[in-house]
Structure 1
Amino acid sequence: MLELKNVCKSYQDFAVKNISFTLPRGYIMGFVGPNGAGKSTTIKMIMNLIRKDSGDIKIFGKDNKKAEKEIKQNIGFVYDENHYYEDLTCEQMKRIIAPLYKKWDEEQYQSYMHRLQVPKYKKIKELSKGMKMKFAIAIALSHHAEFIIMDEPTAGLDPVVRSELLDILQEIVMEDEVSVLFSTHITTDLERIADYITFINDGEIIFTGEKDELMENYVIVKGSNDLLDREGNELFVGLRKNKFGFEGLAKDKQAIIDWFGNEVVLEKPTLDDIIVYTAKGRGACASAHI
């Protein structure tokens, strides 16, 4: 469905380097990383909104630049910012957008607008940020897109609406084998729905793979500071110490058990734990890569 291979883009003070990952049909990939890590740049290159310097991007097996018009007929795109005419109502904006898509489904659009409780005849500038996002989601899901790209779609949404959106995404993936690239800072959303996770930091892919495998590979380790030494420290992706002891993230659970025995406490990490420790400790430990 989506394949990036050695994609690069350089600016004066930042670069994304050799970005490679694959999203199969019918799955959800969480695309995560700190602010300024390269997420938006990568998404814009996928959409051909900015031109890559080198590398290959294929969507539906086709070059995203050469087959751009055909590809975009089958993509739903939700930005993190509003890109609609503010002085128009949602209904007026929809009348402009709908003819652009050959497979526009008015019945489906009205269903999503009702489900998400978006006021059709209110001017877009009068909508809250969350309501604007819901309108964008209704538009993106109403032309039978085979691939959905969402850049911070749950930003500004209350927990109930966020949960509703996640339910909708899971429904369309299961029923229609749609693929979703989901960029977000809310990692609990990804723990709930993502099949794959791709983590980018400082313009480089740190890891990309199945979420469940990722979560099983890592372990949180807690113990007394006097257990640590230089060799033991090398077992950790990232490490935090205070006067009460240490907490760290390790990739090799068995190596931790062999080294520390039962003198440490082992816990299952959250996705947020993995991202934070990897981002902070990557320079000191190459084992952050998977």
Structure 2
Amino acid sequence: MHDMRDTGYETLPLIEARGLTKHYDGFSLQGVDLTVNEGEVVGFIGKNGAGKSTTIRALLGLFPTDGGEARVLGCPSADLSRASGAELKEQIGVVFDTLSLPDHLRISDVGRIYAYAYANWDARRFARMIAELGIDAKKTVKSLSRGMGMKLSLACALCHDARLLILDEATAGLDPMARDEILDELRDFVAAPGHAILISSHITSDLERIADRIVCIDEGSIVFDLPKDSITDEMGIARCRAADLERIANSGIIPDAELRYLRHDFGIDVLVPDRFAFAENFPEIPVDRMTIDDYMSLLLKGGAR
């Protein structure tokens, strides 16, 4: 967890959405609530088509919404796409899941263009970052692999003195070593006072390493918003037989409203809110540590009593 000690003053959320709604043919965002506070890394997860990218684009004011409200750095999201929001946009670093730069540009030219676009562009840091990330400044954007393209996008987002990073699948396409490099950069970023990160990702193992809180969206609605440690440090998965499930249910150790399970050919996985208490009460039933993927699967696909 990042340092959230009392500093003697109240800080406002860097992102705050309440009841965010957007209707399309066949899909709707349905009253999305989302908050990102100073010093936090919030992991945003969900299946493909669940609403992650739509939520992020709504937060950035890239289209009009049908209901609710959202503010980024205290500014209404709708104003971010207007001239009045230009100064605040300097403080937001954004990476989408595709590289949005002209193919013919050389990497060295990208830095020069960004120097005109951002008042606080740090050319020295950009040159250092692309060198550290293994990006050849003489190459063109078109010649970059997907992974290298994502590295370039992240370098651009990190080099104009942003306070807030909004990253949509920013580690997609990166090999494990490259992801380690990027995660180190993100840790350094959020350690600075007044900074925060919202990051959507299908690679939940990355979020287990860096996130403070996990928000899951499914079919346009938020289904859980929990501290990451409560999932990975407190919860567990009991590996049961059918008779074990009945004993667990009848024991009352797991409230009926929280008892969820998945049946497999080899047995039943049961969601355990407190794996340590469970192990004391059922020492003969194996209980494993919960992962973010496990919890999402049990919550979205699991049965309930």
Q: What is the CA distance between 1:28 and its match in structure 2?
A: 0.8
- Quick one: structure 1 residues 255 and 164, their matched pair in 2 at CA, closer, same or farther if it must change by over 3 Å? closer
Q: Which consecutive segments of 4 or more residues in structure 1 shift more than 6 A?
A: none
Match of 2:199 among 171, 182, 186: 182
Give the distance between the partners of 1:248 and 1:230, measured in 2 at CA. 12
Contact 1:238 1:250 in 2 (8 A): no
1:233-244 equivalences in 2 (<5 Å) = 234=256, 235-242=258-265, 244=266
Q: TM-score under structure 2 normalisation?
A: 0.85
Contact 1:237 1:251 in 2 (8 A): no
Task: Name the counterpart of 1:30.
Answer: 43
Q: What is the CA distance between 1:250 and its match in structure 2?
A: 3.4
Q: What is the CA distance between 1:3 and its match in structure 2?
A: 0.6
1:94-243 equivalences in 2 (<5 Å) = 94-229=111-246, 232=249, 234=256, 235-242=258-265
Q: What is the CA distance between 1:252 and its match in structure 2?
A: 5.8
Give the distance between the partners of 1:8 and 1:249, measured in 2 at CA. 31
Task: Name the counterpart of 2:10.
Answer: none
Contact 2:61 2:79 in 1 (8 A): no
Task: Name the counterpart of 2:3.
Answer: none
- Quick one: structure 1 residues 3 and 224, their matched pair in 2 at CA, closer, same or farther if it must change by over 3 Å? same
Give the distance between the partners of 2:264 and 2:249, measured in 1 at CA. 14
Match of 1:65 among 75, 78, 81: 78
Give the distance between the partners of 1:52 and 1:219, measured in 2 at CA. 38
Bigger mean CA deviation after superposition, 189-198 or 209-218: 209-218
Q: What is the CA distance between 1:152 and its match in structure 2?
A: 0.8
Q: What is the CA distance between 1:25 and its match in structure 2?
A: 1.0
Partner amino acid, structure 2, of 1:239: L
Q: What is the CA distance between 1:174 and its match in structure 2?
A: 1.0
Aligned residues with identical type, % of pairs: 35
Q: TM-score under structure 1 normalisation?
A: 0.89
Match of 1:16 among 23, 29, 43: 29
Partner amino acid, structure 1, of 2:230: E
Task: Name the counterpart of 1:249.
Answer: 271
Task: Name the counterpart of 1:271.
Answer: 292
Match of 2:103 among 86, 90, 101: 86
Q: What is the CA distance between 1:256 and its match in structure 2?
A: 5.8
Q: What is the CA distance between 1:16 and its match in structure 2?
A: 1.1
Q: What is the CA distance between 1:88 and its match in structure 2?
A: 1.4
Q: Please give the per-residue CA displacement for 1:108-131, whole angstroms capped at 9, x wherever unaligned.
A: 111211111211121111111111
Give the distance between the partners of 2:189 and 2:279, measured in 1 at CA. 42
Partner amino acid, structure 2, of 1:275: M
Give the distance between the partners of 2:277 and 2:20, measured in 1 at CA. 35
Give the distance between the partners of 1:64 and 1:108, measured in 2 at CA. 29
- In angstroms, what is the RMSD of aligned CA positions? 2.3
Task: Name the counterpart of 2:9.
Answer: none
Q: Please give the per-residue CA displacement for 1:145-167, whole angstroms capped at 9, x wherever unaligned.
A: 00001111111111111101000
Matched residue of 1:165: which SS? helix
Give the distance between the partners of 1:122 and 1:31, measured in 2 at CA. 33
Matched residue of 2:54: which SS? helix
Contact 1:223 1:263 in 2 (8 A): no
Partner amino acid, structure 2, of 1:47: L
Bigger mean CA deviation after superposition, 41-50 or 219-228: 219-228
Partner amino acid, structure 2, of 1:280: K
Give the distance between the partners of 1:230 and 1:19, measured in 2 at CA. 37
Give the distance between the partners of 1:272 and 1:209, measured in 2 at CA. 14
Give the distance between the partners of 1:31 and 1:280, measured in 2 at CA. 18
Is there any run of 5+ residues in structure 2 with no aligned partner, and where?
1-13, 251-255
Matched positions, count = 282
Contact 1:236 1:285 in 2 (8 A): yes
Contact 1:33 1:201 in 2 (8 A): yes
Matched residue of 2:79: which SS? coil
Bigger mean CA deviation after superposition, 185-194 or 52-61: 52-61
